[in-house]
Amino acid sequence: MVEERVACVIVNDASALIDLKKGRLLHVLGDLPYRWVVPVPIREDEVLSFSGQDWQTLEDSNSFEEFDLPSGLVSEAFDLRMERPKLSANDCFCLVTARSIEKSILLTGDKILRTTAELHKVCVHGILWIVDELERLDCCEKSLLIQALEIWYDDPNVRLPPQEINSRLKLFQD
């Protein structure tokens, strides 16, 4: 059982996890006062290409857990997929998981998923919010955040607004 030290749950989609891994921030996520939830289909998705060590890093934080969707939520996810065919099945699993957990935040970098979450009144943030939280709560050295931002800025597969990255880099480097 996860220690009840947190008031909020972060439901992670694959894009957020991939970007957090690229930014070398997995090991500090457990220092934030949140419980981290990954729906089982996301964890098992080969697109993540997480090693056993990557998962162990998350699990060692004692604030990480897998969420095995009950059949009712699986049905909701499939219904949502029929309504919104541009969402992947895994996007739908993340959204219904976030809807089902009180005080949850959906963490995603996917624009379509973000828009759909907002329509469903689900609180949604991206990985730059995680950077802001890590900095605000002084969970790691600013040099680690700068390194992550620079990695994301240089990676064409990470779709973050360059102006947002630059503003944080300027703030953290001053």
Confidence of residue 112 (pLDDT cuts 50, 70, 90): very high
Confidence check: pLDDT of 132 > 60: yes
Residues 18-77: tens digit of each pLDDT: 999 999 999 999 999 999 999 998 888 766 778 888 888 888 877 889 999 999 999 999
Going from N- to C-terminal start, the domains of the chain cover: 9-139
Q: Which residues contact 123 (CB under 8 A, 6 or more apart)?
A: 98, 104, 105, 106, 117
Single pTM value for the model? 0.90
Closest CA to 108 of 139, 87, 80: 87
Region 9-139: CATH code: 3.40.50.1010
> What is the spatial distance between Cα 169 and Cα 174, in angstroms, rounded to a whole number?
9
Q: What is the pLDDT of residue 6?
A: 46
How far from chain centre, in Å, is Cα 143? 21
Distance CA(152)–CA(162), nearest Å, equals 9
**What local confidence, expressed as pLDDT, does residue 33 receive?**
93
